[in-house]
Amino acid sequence: MQEWLIHVSSNHEYTIYFLIIVLASIEGPVLSMIFGVLIKLGYFSFLPVYIALMLGDLFGDTFWYSIGKKFGYSFVGKFGKYINVDKYRIEKLDKVFHKYKHYILFISKISNGFGLSLVTLITAGMVRIPFWKYLSVNLAGQFIWSGMLIGVGYFFSNLYIQVDTWMSRAGVIILFLFVIYLFVQYGKYLKRRIV
């Protein structure tokens, strides 16, 4: 596995970064943590991975903004239940969006929206936040968010590398999964409070 990763990362560099951009547009946060581990192990360099992850995540965010702007309430009515977005949540967010749009977009980006990121991205398009304002605030948050997630992967990989026994490794994995579980539950709690 290690030889294959070294071979791919050194001989197919542009293809790898293109794939990172595509995959990050679908699931950037998890991919960022995985690449934090791979950077720690020496398979990739930080800066190109960081830029590719940010670009991919921004493409994904731009896609959801465009969906909100172009299709708005008709999209939410048809597909909202599949992505946890409904008209009630959007109407509630719309009331404060124009007044605090910069804060909402920035905090949503650096916190993954506390589980409401899709609602925020789609609503930004629906309420017609100017695209360049949307993109500039989102980009500022993306610098922090991608760097933080890569750092989490980098840091936790260090713990994983130093652990000697399989039981200890399992404990680190369980602890990591538990932290992710707590984060998800906190996001659900915040959603319930908003609704």
CA distance 37 to 31: 10
The pLDDT value recorded for residue 167 is 46
Instruction: Kindly indicate the confidence band of residue 173, based on its pLDDT and cuts at 50, 70 and 90.
Output: low
The pLDDT value recorded for residue 141 is 87
Instruction: Kindly indicate the confidence band of residue 76, based on its pLDDT and cuts at 50, 70 and 90.
Output: confident
Summary mean pLDDT of the chain: 77
Instruction: Kindly indicate the confidence band of residue 112, based on its pLDDT and cuts at 50, 70 and 90.
Output: low
